[in-house]
Structure 1
Amino acid sequence: MDILGWTLVILLFIIGMAGTIYPILPGAIAIYGAFFVYGLFFSFEPFGVFFWIIQSLIFIVLFIADYAVSAWGVKRYGGTKASIIGSTIGLIAGPFVIPAFGLIIGPFAGAVIGELIAGANLERSLKVGWGSLVGLFTSVIVKVILQSAMIILFVLWLIFN
């Protein structure tokens, strides 16, 4: 059972980190879930209230940052609500429509199309599309840092408790 427990924990960590790139995967949720899997297979004893507070705060910040940073990129480059919605749709649909490059093309195209629908000219729409990519890449960096912190904190907590 130990091997199964650790396999599930590590698999959830891998899924979580892959979720930083593929938004359809439950990134932070998988990592947070790994803590519960560990507790069910081994013990919740090493995790005190302080551990859960820290992890929960990081988890909440991850969700807020994910949406806020992506929207920031679009808004910073002059985007409207239509381009934010388009970028979000493109982010989700892009990897399925164009498997190899959809993660990049999807948000860009979605923001451009959203901005064109809102009545902007092509030059402005392309600028907003670029902003969606800036937001996407910034969001990925933030998620990698925070999710790595969750995993490292988990490992350190096990080592020192």
Structure 2
Amino acid sequence: MFVIVIIFMIIGLIGVFIPGLPGNGLIFLSTLGYGLLTKFEKISMSMIIFFGILTMLAFLFDYAASILGAKKFGATKAGIIGGVLGGLSGILVFSLPGLLIGQFLGTLIGELYYGKALNVSIKSGFGTIIGYVLGVIVNTTIGLTIIGLFILKVK
């Protein structure tokens, strides 16, 4: 069972990078499932609650990072919507590089549509990417922390 949980955790860690795949939520659910199936013999309920808190923080930061990154660099609502749509389109066509390029271009197009100047629109596009990268760094750190603590407790 331990190996299956680790496989789900690795899928969750990959999901931190790729929108649409479950990320830290899957990592958390893997620990919770393991705890339930083993009646919390090796991992305590308090540890599961701690993992849940970390997971909620990851969700909050992930949500806020891209939006705050874009806003910090002057993006409007149209730019943020464009970034989301561009990122989703980009990942479907060109995988992870497409996600970044799509977010940038989507924000750029959204800002231009809103009437912003090209240089300001480019700045907003970079802000979206910076926010995404910061979100990935924080989410990866949280995911690896949960996985590491889980392995230490269970093995």
In structure 2, the residue matched to 1:65 is: 61
Instruction: Give the Cα separation in 2 of the matches to 1:18 and 1:131.
Output: 23
Q: Quick check: 1:8–1:37 contact (8 Å CA) kept in 2?
A: no
Q: How many residues align?
A: 155
In structure 1, the residue matched to 2:71 is: 75
In structure 2, the residue matched to 1:25 is: 21
Q: Summarize the alignment of residues 101-120 of structure 1 with structure 2, pairs less than 5 Å apart.
A: 101-120=97-116
Offset at 1:38?
2.0
Identity of aligned residues (%): 37
The equivalent position to 1:134 in structure 2, one of 127, 130, 137, is 130
In structure 2, the residue matched to 1:53 is: 49
Offset at 1:41?
4.6
Instruction: Give the Cα separation in 1 of the matches to 2:6 and 2:152.
Output: 15
Secondary structure at the aligned position of 2:10 is classed as helix
Offset at 1:47?
2.9
TM-score by structure 2 length?
0.91
In structure 1, the residue matched to 2:89 is: 93
Gaps of 5+ in 2: none
Offset at 1:100?
5.7
Offset at 1:94?
1.4
1:49–1:6: structure 2 CA closer, same or farther, 3 Å change rule?
closer
Q: Summarize the alignment of residues 10-21 of structure 1 with structure 2, pairs less than 5 Å apart.
A: 10-21=6-17
TM-score by structure 1 length?
0.87
Gaps of 5+ in 1: none
